[in-house]
């Protein structure tokens, strides 16, 4: 009799649990259907996880297929609805015409864990973000952003990069470190007041962990963290992200302490010096956001944004040049015809190098290193007849915009003609939006444009790039982390000097 009662007890518990789970599932389905009725129609989500499984299975395939749902639709990241914009008109209507309304930064658990809301890139739209961004822009301009001094620094660094690459001449090598080091040295000279040699092992390790974090944060592990942030208390790949972020903070903290010891307020050397002086000026102000945590994270943001995006674009550029040797040769011939073999390029040369300039734009268009841009509403608003509450996530699909068949001559293939008119002159295209639009437009757009033009032109002026014999075709989907980066690849570079 006792055993029968025990059996009945376990059966009751099991049935109660099953009934509870079934009720929970029904409640979730009801909530989901109710939520979907308030937003534009889109792909059917699953309870609790939304459309995440299909996105995680094939991120780039999912992004490319979004255009089939029309100009605007809804999808679900976990239980959160996301409004997806597939057209430039909607992009401008939201991020530009109503910029302040759509300038919010959605909570990204893994990034919030690292930044604690400080800095610029992941800071919420508000007083702190405005102060930090305005100060960063002003300081960057004071230290040469958009001026000849920065152009000269980039041109000089390009020669160091060429020299470093020629150490591997004729041999297959992975170019990620020299490219990242070269690009990073430009922002480092502005932020830290110094550049780092290519054989500096500590700096090389720092660049390595930065690249690792960019990939880990956007990987499946990062997305799982977004759904279940409580796992930060448990072991897993997310702990590597935390360790890497702390290594960067420690590096910056050491630089700050060195600056404190040698600070001369009358002769400011770089961004850190300027920030230290600003902290002192703002001490008595109640609404000041200039403090140690914001200094460390703002410096980290400038360092990260000023390194990875441009370096990643240049790596994609090498892939496209090796895959299209005819384009590479035509760029080289144009560069040598205008600049000769020895003169370094400057931004004034763009009008005389239309094909090269068009090629750089086409690399950016096809590599779309930031394929989607995610914001959230800062207040309740309306969009095309739909009521969006405060905190609604809004995602602009840059891939859809930059491959719109109505506005590109060759939307789905790599072809510099997309940026050339009938006379072979460079022509702008409004559907080219790699730096985003509106209040959160890329902080370093001017610097990135300068670096891309001078680095790319210098490399093709002096070097020829080709695939190693027998190299497999590259996987052009790349790795979708914080930015979309190429899979590791080897290249062979040869000096053009022997042919001149």
Domain segments of the chain: what residues?
Answer: 117-370+403-499
Structure tokens at 217: 């944060």
Cα 470 to Cα 170: distance, rounded to the nearest angstrom: 15
Count of alpha carbons within 13 angstroms of residue 472, beta-carbon side: 5
What is the 3 state secondary structure string of the chain? CHHHHHHHHHHHHHHHHHHHHHHHHHHHHHHHHHHHCCCCCCCCCECCCECHHHHHHCHHHHHHHHHHHCCEEEEEECCEEEEEECCHHHHHHHHCCCCCCCCECCCCHHHHHHHCCCCCCCCCCCHHHHHHHHHHHHHHHHCCCCCHHHHHHHHHHHHHHHHHHHCCCCCCECCHHHHHHHHHHHHHHHHCCCCCCCCCHHHHHHHHHHHHHHHHHHCHHHHHHHHCHHHHHCCCHHHHHHHHHHHHHHHHHHHHHHHHHHCCCCCCCCHHHHHHHHHHHCCCCCCCCCCHHHHHHHHHHHHHHCCHHHHHHHHHHHHHHHHCHHHHHHHHHHHHHHHCCCCCCCHHHHHHCHHHHHHHHHHHHHHCCCCEEEEECCCCEEECCEEECCCCEEEEEHHHHHCCCCCCCCCCCCCHHHHECCCCCECCCCCCCCCCCCCCCCCCHHHHHHHHHHHHHHHHHHEEEECCCCCCCCCCCCEECCCEECCCCCEEEEEHHHHC
Contact 461, 339 (CB under 8 A): yes
**Residue 401 and residue 499: Cα distance in Å, rounded?**
41
Per the DSSP assignment, residues forming a β-bridge with 484 are 480
Using alpha carbons, list the distances in angstroms from residue 314 to 81, 122, 321, 356, 474.
35, 25, 10, 14, 16
What would the two tokens of residue 72 be?
């605007």
The confidence score (pLDDT) of residue 497 equals 78
Q: Which one, of 495, 442, 456, lies nearest residue 316 by Cα?
A: 456
CA distance 404 to 220: 29
pTM over 0.85: yes
Beta bridge partners of 432: none
pLDDT value of residue 108? 84
Contact 305, 121 (CB under 8 A): yes
In Å, what is the CA distance from 316 to each residue of 98, 172, 321, 478? 33, 17, 9, 9
Q: Dihedral through CA 249, CA 283, CA 265, CA 274, nearest 10?
A: 40
228-239 core/surface letters (b: 16 or more CB in 10 A; e: else): ebebeeeeeebe
**Residues near 366 by Cβ (< 8 Å), separated by ≥ 6?**
316, 320, 414
Beta bridge pairs of residue 466: 492
Residue 324 has phi, psi (to 5 degrees) of: -130, 70
List of residues 6+ apart from 10 with CB closer than 8 A: none
- What does the pLDDT read at residue 35? 77
Q: Which CATH superfamily, name and number, covers 117-370+403-499?
A: Cytochrome P450 (1.10.630.10)
What pLDDT is attached to residue 241? 87
With tokens 């240049």, the residue in question is 314
pLDDT, one tens digit for every residue, the chain (500 residues):
555 445 556 677 777 777 677 667 676 676 777 778 899 999 999 888 889 888 888 999 999 999 999 999 999 998 899 999 999 999 999 999 999 999 999 888 888 888 988 999 889 999 999 999 999 999 998 887 766 789 999 999 999 999 999 999 999 999 999 999 999 999 999 999 999 999 999 999 999 988 888 888 877 777 778 777 888 888 888 888 899 999 999 999 999 999 999 999 999 999 999 999 999 999 888 889 999 999 999 999 999 888 999 999 999 999 999 999 999 999 999 999 999 998 999 999 999 999 999 999 999 999 999 999 999 999 999 999 999 999 999 999 999 999 999 999 999 999 999 999 999 999 999 999 999 999 999 988 999 999 999 999 999 999 999 999 999 999 999 998 889 999 999 999 999 975 55
Q: Which residues contact 388 (CB under 8 A, 6 or more apart)?
A: 83, 377, 380, 381, 382, 394
The HSE-up count of residue 25 (CA atoms within 13 Å, CB side) is: 7
Close Cβ partners of 123 (under 8 Å, ≥ 6 residues apart): 105, 115, 117, 129, 132
């Amino acid at each position: 009799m006792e055993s029968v009662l025990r059996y009945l007890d376990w059966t009751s518990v099991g049935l109660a649990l099953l009934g509870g789970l079934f009720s929970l599932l029904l409640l979730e389905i009801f909530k989901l259907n109710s939520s979907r009725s308030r937003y534009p129609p889109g792909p059917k989500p699953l309870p609790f996880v939304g459309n995440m499984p299909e996105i995680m299975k094939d991120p780039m395939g999912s992004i490319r297929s979004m255009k089939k749902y029309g100009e605007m639709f809804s999808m679900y990241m976990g239980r959160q609805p996301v409004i997806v914009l597939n057209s430039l008109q909607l992009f401008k209507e939201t991020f530009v015409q109503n910029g302040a309304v759509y300038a919010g930064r959605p909570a990204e658990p893994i990034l919030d864990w690292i930044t604690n809301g400080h800095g610029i890139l992941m800071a919420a739209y508000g007083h702190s973000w405005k102060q930090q961004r305005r100060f960063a822009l002003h300081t960057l301009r004071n230290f040469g952003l958009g001026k000849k001094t920065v152009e000269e620094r980039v041109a000089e660094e390009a020669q160091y990069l060429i020299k470093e690459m020629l150490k591997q001449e004729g041999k297959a090598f992975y170019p990620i470190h020299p490219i990242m080091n070269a690009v990073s040295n430009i922002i480092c000279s502005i932020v830290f007041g110094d550049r780092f040699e290519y054989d500096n092992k500590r700096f090389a390790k720092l660049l390595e962990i930065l690249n690792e974090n960019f990939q880990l944060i956007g990987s499946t592990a990062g997305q799982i963290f977004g759904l279940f942030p409580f796992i930060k208390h448990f072991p897993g790949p997310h702990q590597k992200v935390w360790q890497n972020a702390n290594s960067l903070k420690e590096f910056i903290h050491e630089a700050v302490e060195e600056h404190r010891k040698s600070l001369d307020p009358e002769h400011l050397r770089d961004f850190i010096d300027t920030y230290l002086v600003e902290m002192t000026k703002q001490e008595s102000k109640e609404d000041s956001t200039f403090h140690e945590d914001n200094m460390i994270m703002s410096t980290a943001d400038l360092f990260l944004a000023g390194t990875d995006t441009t370096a990643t674009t240049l790596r994609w550029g090498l892939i496209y040049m090796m895959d299209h040797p005819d384009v590479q040769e035509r760029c080289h011939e144009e560069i040598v015809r205008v600049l000769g073999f020895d003169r370094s390029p400057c931004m004034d040369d763009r009008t005389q190098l239309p094909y090269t300039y068009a090629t750089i734009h086409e690399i950016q268009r096809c590599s779309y290193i930031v394929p989607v841009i995610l914001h959230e509403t800062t207040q309740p608003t309306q969009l095309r007849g739909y009521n969006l509450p405060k905190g609604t996530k809004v995602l602009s699909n840059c891939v859809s915009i930059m491959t719109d068949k109505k506005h590109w001559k060759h939307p789905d293939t790599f072809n510099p003609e997309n940026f050339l008119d009938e006379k072979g002159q460079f022509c702008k295209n409004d559907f080219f939006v790699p730096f985003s639009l509106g209040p959160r437009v890329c902080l370093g757009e001017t610097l990135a444009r300068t670096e891309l033009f001078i680095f790319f032109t210098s490399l093709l002026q002096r070097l020829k790039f080709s695939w190693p014999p027998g190299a497999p075709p590259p996987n052009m989907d790349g790795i979708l982390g914080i930015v979309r980066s190429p899979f590791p690849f080897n290249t062979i570079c040869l000096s053009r000097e022997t042919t001149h």
